[in-house]
Amino acid sequence: MQQTSAADRSRRLSWNTADIRPDQQFAYYREAICQAFMNLTPEPTAAPGFLARVDTLGLGDGAVNRVNFPEHIVRRSAADIAASSRRCYYLNLKLAGRCRIQQAGREISLSSGQVGIFDSGERFALLHDRGPALQVASFWVPAEALDERLPSPPDFAPARVSDDPFVGHLIAETAQVLNASALRASDAENARLFDVLLDLVALSLSRGSREGAAEAASLADATWLALRRAVDRRLREPGLGVAAIAATMRISERYVHKLFERAGTTFASYVIDRRLDGAARDLKDPTMFGRAIGDIAFDWGFSDLSHFTRRFRHRFNCTPGDWRRGSTTLVRKSQ
């Protein structure tokens, strides 16, 4: 079987069985996952037809394969391994349904939001169930890309790395961000974030101490990314403070301040600026012209209108009313 080459992985490829006759859909799916991943042996289901979609997108030397499918079983046999020219790891972010991974006498299960890793160099079985519609983002990791990050040759059974008590939530967050943003980001940005993800996985598999891990530059980058996302999700909460965010992130308040300082700002400044940006967008939104300025300010977490007006003027060199009037004037002129 012709497998996808390293050059092919640098671009996007897609397979969709909806375009194939029902009696040929499963065979087409089998061909697709063998090209996107490596030689695999999926087992056909009793139901007629097999609606599935496979998309692969290059991430530096690796790739992310997004797969939507119904319940079924996938195996990697000794013959599949012998026919493969390269070894890799599969780092799977489960998006919908459940998957049980059986390898080397061990079984782990992945539910939505969890991340697990297993080795293409050993036989395995993937039992995809709890459908009917299942989805996974599987990161194709060249073996050497992870091995070189580890202090000794790896010898591990499948592991649910998102369970790591310190970096597990960062692994899951980084995998989710990379999966969600890969199509919009540049090749360089994707490659860099993929490297961060691999650094985190390597830390989880081999970290000696929490203190040493916390000082790793890649860990700090991933924590900063997850920290901003955590703050952005809660921008509209009045009284949002460092303590609440630190508890959500499971890091210390001191480390939160340290990461904002590292980025050249403070927690308070970041929150104010993001809230002002959100309010400014709403003030220019024609669908929001009927809403009072005060209501928009309160929606974005400001509890004092005069404070909002003062900070808005300082940021945009005009009052919220002038900002809005400029937008309404443009709307009227275009009508």
The tokens describing 325, both together, are 């009037």
100-132 tens-digit pLDDT: 999 999 999 999 999 999 999 999 999 998 777
The enclosing H or E element of 199 equals helix 187-206
The tokens describing 12, both together, are 């996007």
User: What percentage of the chain reaches a pLDDT higher than 70?
Assistant: 89
Of the candidates 140, 131, 174, the residue with the CA atom closest to the CA atom of residue 35: 140
Task: Compute the average pLDDT of residues 78-102.
Answer: 94
205-240 tens-digit pLDDT: 875 434 444 445 566 777 888 888 889 989 999 899
Least confident of 18-22, 58-62, 162-166: 162-166
Please enumerate in sequence order all residues whose Cβ is within 8 A of that of 51, keeping only pairs 6 or more positions apart, or say none: 17, 18, 25, 69, 70
Task: Compute the average pLDDT of residues 178-206.
Answer: 89
Q: Which residue has the higher pLDDT, 212 or 293?
A: 293
- Domain covering 8-163 assigned CATH 1.10.3720.10 in the classification: no
Give pTM, 2 decimals: 0.67
DSSP state of 85: S
- The pLDDT of residue 221: 77
Task: Compute the average pLDDT of residues 135-147.
Answer: 94
Contact 307, 275 (CB under 8 A): no
- The pLDDT of residue 167: 84
